[in-house]
Structures are given as C-alpha cells and as structure tokens.
Chain A
Amino acid sequence: MSSDERPRVTPLPPAGASWLDRPGTIRVLWIAFIAVLAITVAAELLVHLHPRFRLERWFGFHAAWGFLSCVAMVLFANLLGIFLRRPDDYYAQRPEWPDGEERSGD
C-alpha cells in the first residue's frame, strides 16, 4: 500500500506567503464566516418558513441541529476510533493467506 507510492514531485520549500497564509487573512475569513452564520439565522426573521414538525418551529432549529449533530458525529467517530483504529499497515503485516508472504515478493 504505502510502499507502492512513488512521489513524482520533489518537495519544494514553501513559496512565499500567499494571501491565505497571512494571519490577517485568516482573521478576516473568520469574521466573514461568523457574519454569514449570523445572517443565515437572522434571515429567519424575514423569511416565512413552513415548518412541518414541532421541532422545526424553534428559532434557528436548522442551525442548532446542523451544529449539534455534526459535533455528535465527530465525537462518536472518535469514540469508535478508540476501538477500531489501527496502524495503516495493519493488513499489510498480516498476509491474508498463509502463502501471502511469499507471493507478495513477485
């Protein structure tokens, strides 16, 4: 798996700070992002939603549901990872068939 990879590109030193690398840009992006978040929620005041279920009537339900379910999914994934994560050469170390080791040489 990893042994099959042949890097075709020689790593170069980072080419001068591009606009995305400047700390200032990141700050601006965060501010813009938070502004967009606020706008999407505030838009609920202007737009007539037609909620079908009781939960949907809560103000900002979709925002909260999107955020909380994603946090929950990340946490659950990490919890599962504690039990199921293995080094990525896990299977490479284990020949799937007793003669696998000999054959992998050809």
Chain B
Amino acid sequence: MIELAFPPAFILIIGALLIAVARPALRPVIVLLTPLVTLWAIWRLPDGVLLTTQFLGYPIELVEAGKLRRLFATVFAIMAFAGGLFGLKQARWTELAAAYAYAAGAVGVAFAGDLITMFLFWEFMAIFSTVVVWCGGTEGARRAGVRYAIMHLVGGVVLKIGIEGVMIHTGSVDIRPLDLDTFDAWVVLAGVLINAAAPPVSQWLSDAYPESSPTGGVFLSAFTTKTAVLALILLFPGAEVLVWIGLYMVFYGIIYALLENDMRRILSYSIVNQVGFMVCGVGIGTQMALNGAAAHAFVHIIYKALLFMSAGAVMYQTGRRKCTDIGGLYRSMPLTMTCGMIGALSISAFPLTSGFIAKSLISEAAGQQGLELVWLLLTAASAGVFLHAGIKFPWFVFFHRDSGLRPADPPWNMRAAMLLFSAACIVLGCFPALLYPLLPYPVDYVPYTAAHVVTQLQLLMFAGLAFFVMLSQMERMLTITLDFDWFYRVLLVRVAKVVERTWSWLLELLRQLRRDLGTVLGPRFEAWFLPHGRLAQTWPTGSMTLWVTVILVLLVVLAQRDTLP
C-alpha cells in the first residue's frame, strides 16, 4: 500500500530537482511528464487518511484524500502541465524548477490532513513563489520579490501562531471546521486570508505578479490564492464574516483594475476580484455555495492562466506591458487574441464558457439563502468582471488604437498551451457534467436554463454597452493607483527617517551636553579625583581619631535610646 499513498507533492518536488540537474535535452521531457505522473498519482489515491506519522507527539497526516482535495490537486497538476508547456523553451530552468516546487507546495497543501503538514507546504509555496517572482530578472522584480517574501513570511508567522494556539487549546492538529469563537481561530483565519489577498493587504498580489516573467505570471496566478480558498473551505465554511470580506475583494478588484494601465496588473486585480467570489461563497457556506467556491476555483485557475498566457505572449513578443504602449495587436497576433478573448469571455461567465457553469453556483446559493443584498452585489460584480477583465483587457491590448507594433504570435509551445486551456474553457462550459461530479457535494443545479442564459446575456451585454459608452472615461494614463502598501513603502520610510533624524539629533544633544558639562565640572573633578586631587591626599591621623570618636559617641547615644524611659 505504500506506493499507493506516495504523496503526489513529492513527485513534483522530485521533478523540480530533476529539472535542475538534468541535461538540457532531457529537461522538456521531465517538465511535461512530471505533472502527468502527479495527476496519475492524485487519481490513484483512495479517499481517507493514507499516510500518518508522529511529530512532537501529534499525529501527522501527510496525505488525506477526498473529493474536494482531489479537485484542487487535479487542477494544480493540470496547471503545472500547461505552465510548463508555456515556458518550455522560453523560461530558464531555475524558473521552471522553482515553479514546479511551488506547485508541489500547492498539491501538498491540498492533501495535508493536519495543520502542521499544511503549514510546512504553505511555507514551501511562499519560498518558491518568491523565487518565481525574482525570476522576472529585473530590479523591479527583485524589489517586488522582497516585499512579497516579507508579506508571506509575516502571513506564515501569523498562521503558525494560530495553529499553535489551536494545538495547545484543543490538543488536536486535525484539519476540520473551526468555530470563530476563539482567538486562535481568528489568527488562523487571518493567516489564511493574507494568502487569499484579502483586505487590507490585497495589494501584495498586484504588486508582485506583474513583475514576474511571462511564464512566472502564469504559475503565480494559480496556486497561492487558490490554496487559501481551499483552506477556507476546509477550516471556515459558513463563517459569515467571509461574505463581506469576499464582497469587498470583488469590488476592490474591479475598481483598481479599471484604473490600471499595466495589462498584467489588470489581471492581477482581477484575481483578487475572482477570489472574492470564492471567499464570499465559502462565507455563505451552504453545500451549493461551497460547491460553487470549489468549482469557481477550478475554472478560474484555467481561464486566469489562459489570460496570463495571452498577456505573457504579448509581453514576450513585444517586451511591453503597459496598455499605453500596446494596442491593435489583433492584426499580427490573431491566435493570441482569440485565446485571450476566450479567457476573457470565460472569466465574464458567458454562456458556453466555463465561468458560466461555475460562478452562477455562488450567486444561486446566495439567492437560495434569501440574501438579497449579497445577491444584488454579486450580480453587479459579475457585470463588473466583464467590464474590467472581459472587455477592458482585450480591448486595450488587442484592439483600441493601433500602436504600430506587428509582433507575430508566440512560439509553438506557448500557442499550444493557450490552445489547450482555451479548449478546456469551452469544453467545461459546454459539458458541465465533466466538472459537477468532481465537486465535494452532490450538484442539483442546471446552469443552462433559458431564464439563466437570457438574464446573464442581458447583464453582460449591457455591461458591454456601459464600457463603450464610458470609453472616454477610461482613457489609459501612465499612472498607478495608491494602495495600502503606500503605508509601508512611503509613510513608514518617512516615519523611519523622522525617527532616525530625531535620534541623531538627541545623540548630538547629549554629546553637546557632555562637552558643556565637561567645561564646567571638569576642573572640580580634577581637583577631587585625580592623583594630585583632594581625595588622593594623605590625611593626618588626628582627623581620623576625631571622626572615630564622633562615631563612637553617636553609637553610644543611639544604643541608650531604647533603655530610656
């Protein structure tokens, strides 16, 4: 049974190591085979806890399989395959190895049966995703990578504090739903939410991901936030606070993406937006909502990676990433444009695309629970998704005004990866029966009803109308939008400089004081303490005798005091 329960994450780790040491000619084979072997291993795992050991007296469940975990691990492995294919010839081997190790962390979290294992793989992801950011290779990437690493290490520490609290107070490290009635549970929630790019730290995502390489962005878009969603489903299903956090993320992503100029930063904000839908679904917490969150994570990974691939292809072919520098690329990059459009339609949940069959589960769940406000906001947000990711991204990259650039479509492997995921978006959209049986709970929902198709088309088409009516309001500008990171990138530096200046001023003041006091007190000290000073002189015996007499008299008087009446 040992080989049955071999942790799938270890296959990806071995693959990453092999990529690092293999001869260049063998590398593509390893890159393409590793995720497939992983996928095979994932589907061979029977349900239940499969591999246990002991650590510090706690039972460690290295592999615990189940429908939900298998669903996430499956899409992680598929993602690794497509990402590897996309970067097969273009990415450096260091980047591919790091990306596979990163994917291994995600698969490891998916199958972690206890909080300790989850934490270890969690940190594993943090380390190797930082390396992937650094593989962007620019000074901007180096700096963004440092900020990214700090954010995730802080998140890791927060998570660890929470996990240790749970360990001590409940005596169990098992992964099971936690009630938000203890401090420990809240700290665990905070640690998980940091990785989900929840407020107020959502900007770590849009800060780091656009600095990565074309391949790096594809990998980064998939794993960190979605493992956080999985952790939320496992640990905090139905926690009401998540509904509101999710709704905030949904609108935060839309608003910031509307203001953004960098094409991959638009997509990064869009990740926060999409994860917001999932977080909201977890907060609603019914079986349908949890199904929706899981299904949405699955299809989101595919279409968001597809969008990042098309943006990465543009970046690879033109070396540019700002909407102000590109535009009109449909002329020379028809395939990239088509695949980008399929991704854009999928994220907008157009009928016959994967988004349609997944996202509607969440809003349907909100409707079933009678949460009218939540439902209204989710519906508005669905329209907003079409606005910022569905039209804005392809419009400013592939259409709009002609930038004069005529780059060709990217090399064959990049095209193949894009085609693969485009096909996946459409096949899943047309045949929901492929996805629904994989969801954790039985699905009693038919996405393709006339009413649903009509209402969804109304919503999206009129969102499109709003885009073109408001086009003049959305002219691209060479700007960024300030976010929470301003507090630690600018304000904190300013405060640090003020503190530094105050400190050096204080030191100078002390020095001055010493000097001034020295001129006043110096001669006195010399007169008393130096070898020729007062205290160093020999004194006459008579004065000593006198003082001894005085002390004796005092002692006698004090000793008599008690006996006096």
Contacts and interface: CB of A to CB of B under 8 A. Distances in A.
Interface in A18-76: 18, 20-21, 33, 36-37, 40-41, 43-44, 47-50, 52-53, 55, 60, 62-67, 69-71, 73-76
A55, A74, A75, A86: residue with the most chain B Cβ atoms closer than 10 Å: A74
B387 A74 contact: yes
Interface string B362-389: 0000010000100110011001100100
Given A11-B405, A88-B478, A70 B387 contact: yes
A14 B402 contact: yes
Contact of B489 (A20, A85, A91): A91
A8, A62, A80, A96: residue with the most chain B Cβ atoms closer than 10 Å: A62
A105 B387 CA distance: 40
Interface of A: 1-2, 4-9, 11-15, 18, 20-21, 33, 36-37, 40-41, 43-44, 47-50, 52-53, 55, 60, 62-67, 69-71, 73-78, 80-81, 84-88, 90-92, 94, 96-98, 104
Interface stretch (B188-196, B223-231, B254-262): B254-262
Contacts of B402: 14, 21
A40 B407 CA distance: 37
A63 B462 contact: yes
Interface string B457-494: 11111111111111001100111111100000110010
Given A4-B138, A11-B405, 5 more contacts: A15-B406, A47-B451, A47-B454, A70-B384, A77-B254
Interface of B: 138-140, 143, 147, 251, 254-256, 258-259, 261-262, 317-322, 325, 330-331, 367, 372, 375-376, 379-380, 383-384, 387, 399, 402-407, 450-451, 454-470, 473-474, 477-483, 489-490, 493, 496-497, 500
Contacts of A67: 462-463, 465-466
A65 to B, nearest CB: 6
16 contacts: A5-B325, A8-B317, A11-B405, A33-B461, A40-B461, A53-B372, A60-B458, A66-B461, A66-B466, A67-B465, A69-B463, A73-B258, A77-B256, A91-B490, A96-B489, A98-B496
A65 B465 contact: no
Contact of A37 (B138, B405, B465, B479): B465
Contacts of B481: 80-81, 84-86
A89 to B, nearest CB: 8
Nearest to B456: A62
A28 to B, nearest CB: 15
A7, A78, A81: residue with the most chain B Cβ atoms closer than 10 Å: A81
B381 to A, nearest CB: 8
B261 A98 contact: no
Contact of A70 (B262, B321, B383, B451): B383
A63 B494 CA distance: 48
A9 B405 contact: yes
B330, B367, B466, B500: residue with the most chain A Cβ atoms closer than 10 Å: B466
Contacts of A20: 330, 399
B493 A66 contact: no
Contacts of A9: 317-319, 405-407
Contact of A5 (B319, B455, B468): B319
A1, A47, A77, A97: residue with the most chain B Cβ atoms closer than 10 Å: A77
Nearest to B497: A98
A4 B140 contact: yes
Contacts of B478: 87-88
Nearest to B489: A96
Given A20-B330, A88-B479, A65 B383 contact: yes
Contact of B459 (A4, A7, A11, A62): A62
A85 to B, nearest CB: 4
Given A65-B459, A67-B462, A88-B479, A7 B318 contact: yes
Contact of A53 (B147, B375, B462): B375
Given A94-B489, A104-B139, A74 B458 contact: no
Contacts of A7: 318-320
A43 B458 CA distance: 9
A69 B470 CA distance: 12
Nearest to A50: B451
Contacts of B468: 33
Contacts of B262: 88
Contacts of B331: 15, 18
A23 B179 CA distance: 61
Nearest to B457: A40
A65 B380 contact: yes
A85 B477 contact: yes
